[in-house]
Amino acid sequence: MFSAGSFHPLHLRPRSWNSRLMSTNPTNGGEALVRALECEGVEVMFGLPGGAILPVYDPIIDSSIRHVLVRHEQGAGHMAEGYAHATGKPGVCMVTSGPAATNVVTPLADAMLDSVPMVCITGQVPLAAIGTDAFQECDTTGITMAVTKHNFLVTDPQDIPRIIHEAFHIATTGRPGPVLVDIPKDIVDPVNPRSAMTWYEPDSVPMELPGYHPQTDGDPALIQEAAELIAHAERPVLYVGGGILKARAAEPLLELAELLAIPVVTTLMARGAFPDSHELCLGMPGMHGNYTAVTAMQRADLLVSLGARFDDRVTGRLDGFAPDAKIIHVDIDPAELGKVRQYNVGIQGDCKVVIEGLVDITKKLGPGAQADRSAWRSTVSGWQEKFPLTYEQSLPGDKLKPQFVMEQLRDGNPDDTILCSGVGQHQMHASQFWRFDHPYTWINSGGLGTMGFSIPAAIGAKAGMPDRRVWAVDGDGNFQMTAQELVTATVEDIPIKVALFNNSYLGMVRQWQEMFYDERFSEVHLSDHVPDYVKWAESMGAVGIRVESPEEVAPAIAKANEINDRSVVIEFVTDARENVFPMVPAGATNSDVVVDPSQQHLLDGTGGDS
């Protein structure tokens, strides 16, 4: 490229000029950190450099790890989450101290509530400056204590490989979660003698975690008891949560459900863990679940909870939830057992291991051991026929119905498409109207409900699964929180597709104000005029398309799917008056589920029972 003897621009300098060759072992904390990440199998990380983490960004240049430069640290955290959700591997992000560390607090809390394996590296001011209110100093481990599974403040560079190994071990085993490693600048900075260390492979030394022994094997006696309880149940429901996906237990779940012919509800975190198109699948339960899923749980005589945690959005008012149901609760986290609802059989264990145990015992018991459930199945299918998800089609001149757009989006994409969502009405409509037939195709912020999640999460998912089609569904309120990461998508060549549901409102809040605050709309109208989403998308290097009429919807989706060299944003101008139904009003029991206005007359005094 350039003749011998010519001057070398800095970025073209020969590798021999660089003291840190990959072939030599690290000699300081910064190199050791990057090498330790490589040893843990990290292929992609998301981050943004700054003062305290600067020394670690130098060895990044020579690393095999792909670093994705984000535009805001919150984006780095959500990208790491999206990557983890899609691939099953831990997501990694790295940011500097102070404001960068506080900017990842939201993704950490999000990952904590949704049990997402994630390792976050933060820079910290030098050890001697800690506690002096130094520039860009904050108490990162103190601040993040409540939103991480564990965190570390490293004080000796010699500990770095071991602590990184411990961080990945904690993040990925037991109930997964985020782990933060806070690293003072002086122990990673090669110009500081304090950074000197002697390299060792991270897994070559024993971990120092005397208090961490996650248990995965369920107690065989309890599994036997559970199988027998199931056998005697006449109205059982398998209540399936995100733990199934974390345990990679979708296959044994399918086997168990088919073996027993028991209907399955999949929570918001478990969409795709059991195929929606399967005849036993009742879809999503909870506040915006469909009538059959909600009511089947309500009328069940046994709930078999597999990796679910009786979240308030599922149970509604607790004292009226599934009043006749006995409970089998399986969770890898013992603290979930009995936390919300007392169980009859509580099994601490990995869902996959326990379900395989249940399958074995059920086979041994034989089909003759199972109670007759034909009446239950016909009751459930009666509800399905009577109360399908529905909405009224738009009239000419109306704005688009969001449910219609979601159906078109579903029908215009293959079923292995990865769908990421923000938080609000569009999220509920996506969960309701998409058809999830494969695990790990649905990525959303369930527990924390983090607006702005979808775009960075979609970028993270696409970075981890570059051969898969990744769509982000987003609301206009959400989009304005994290849309700048589309710049990251463009620059880093990680093209995603965004279906932006623009109803000019904070729609879910609007719905609550309409239903529960006498239509007194307070601070929910964003703007009918600004921003111009098409121009905004184009300014970020994406293709922008605005769609306002029903006949334009499918062609726009098809056009977006033909564009693979850059991101695409389709702005669907939707009807703000459209609400999410069914709905269990806050404070009500699930027996008081409100269905679509067009079906409300079908509910009799007994809640529509057949």
CB nearer to other proteins: give 145 or 602: 145
Is 162 near other proteins (CB under 8 A)?
no
Residues 243-282 that bind other proteins (CB under 8 A): none
Which of 508, 513, 572, 599 is the catalytic position? 508
CB nearer to other proteins: give 173 or 561: 173
43: burial class by Cβ within 10 Å (0-12, 13-18, 19+)? middle
3-state secondary structure of 419: strand
3-state secondary structure of 501: strand
Q: How far is the CB of 174 from other proteins (least distance, A)?
A: 9
CB nearer to other proteins: give 170 or 325: 170
Query: What string marks each residue from 548 to 577 as x (binds other proteins by CB under 8 A) or -?
Result: ------------------------------
Q: Which of these ranges, 337-345, 437-445, 463-471, 536-544, lies near other proteins under the rule CB under 8 A?
A: 337-345
Which of 149, 185, 401, 497 is the catalytic position? 185
CB nearer to other proteins: give 148 or 450: 148
CB nearer to other proteins: give 332 or 542: 332
Q: How far is the CB of 224 from other proteins (least distance, A)?
A: 24
Q: How far is the CB of 211 from other proteins (least distance, A)?
A: 4
Q: Which of these ranges, 309-317, 333-341, 354-362, 465-473, lies near other proteins under the rule CB under 8 A?
A: 333-341
Provide the token pair at 133.
């209110």
Q: How far is the CB of 140 from other proteins (least distance, A)?
A: 12
CB count within 10 Å of CB 83 equals: 32
Q: Which of these ranges, 55-63, 207-215, 280-288, 290-298, lies near other proteins under the rule CB under 8 A?
A: 207-215
CB nearer to other proteins: give 168 or 434: 168
- 73 in active site: yes
- Interface with other proteins (CB under 8 A), residue from 52, 170, 237, 423: 170
- Interface with other proteins (CB under 8 A), residue from 200, 212, 512, 521: 212
CB nearer to other proteins: give 152 or 471: 152
Backbone Cα Rg of the chain: 26
Please, are residues 308 and 243 in contact by the beta-carbon 8 Å criterion? yes
Residues 340-369 that bind other proteins (CB under 8 A): 342
- Interface with other proteins (CB under 8 A), residue from 5, 193, 211, 414: 211
Please, are residues 303 and 346 in contact by the beta-carbon 8 Å criterion? no
Q: How far is the CB of 182 from other proteins (least distance, A)?
A: 11
C-alpha 16/C-alpha 23 separation (Å) is 12
3-state secondary structure of 66: strand
Helix H or strand E segment including 266: strand 264-266
CA angle (177 as vertex; 173, 179 as ends), nearest 5: 100
C-alpha 251/C-alpha 352 separation (Å) is 9
Angle between the N-to-C axes of helices 425-433 and 507-516, in degrees from 0 to 180, rounded to the nearest 10: 100
Task: Please spell the DSSP secondary structure of 115-159, one letter per residue.
Answer: T--EEEEEEE--GGGTTTT-TT---HHHHHGGGSSEEEE---GGG
Is 335 near other proteins (CB under 8 A)?
yes
Q: How far is the CB of 204 from other proteins (least distance, A)?
A: 21
Q: Which of these ranges, 113-121, 329-337, 436-444, 580-588, lies near other proteins under the rule CB under 8 A?
A: 329-337
Q: How far is the CB of 334 from other proteins (least distance, A)?
A: 5
Binding-residue total with other proteins (CB under 8 A): 18
- 89 in active site: no
Hunting for tokens 């100093």 — which residue is that?
Answer: 137
CB nearer to other proteins: give 310 or 391: 310
Is 206 near other proteins (CB under 8 A)?
no
| Neighbour-count burial for 337-363, b at 16+ CB within 10 Å, e otherwise | beebbebebbbbbbbbbbbbbbbebbe
Task: Please spell the DSSP secondary structure of 286-335, one letter per residue.
Answer: STT--HHHHHHHHH-SEEEEES----HHHHSSGGGSSTT-EEEEEESSGG
Query: What string marks each residue from 50 to 69 as x (binds other proteins by CB under 8 A) or -?
Result: --------------------
Q: How far is the CB of 337 from other proteins (least distance, A)?
A: 8
Helix H or strand E segment including 508: helix 507-516
C-alpha 311/C-alpha 288 separation (Å) is 13
Task: Please spell the DSSP secondary structure of 538-607, one letter per residue.
Answer: HHTTSEEEEE-SHHHHHHHHHHHHH--SS-EEEEEEB-TT----SB--TTS-GGG-B--TTTGGG--TTS
CB nearer to other proteins: give 348 or 441: 348
Q: How far is the CB of 106 from other proteins (least distance, A)?
A: 17
Which of 43, 89, 136, 552 is the catalytic position? 136
Residues 100-159 that bind other proteins (CB under 8 A): 141-142, 145-146, 149-150, 153
- 508 in active site: yes
Between strands 281-283 and 302-306, the pairing is: unpaired
Provide the token pair at 295.
């009511």
Is 318 near other proteins (CB under 8 A)?
no
Q: Which residues bind other proteins (CB under 8 A)?
A: 141-142, 145-146, 149-150, 153, 170, 209-212, 333-335, 338-339, 342
> What are the residue numbers of the active site?
73, 135-136, 185, 508
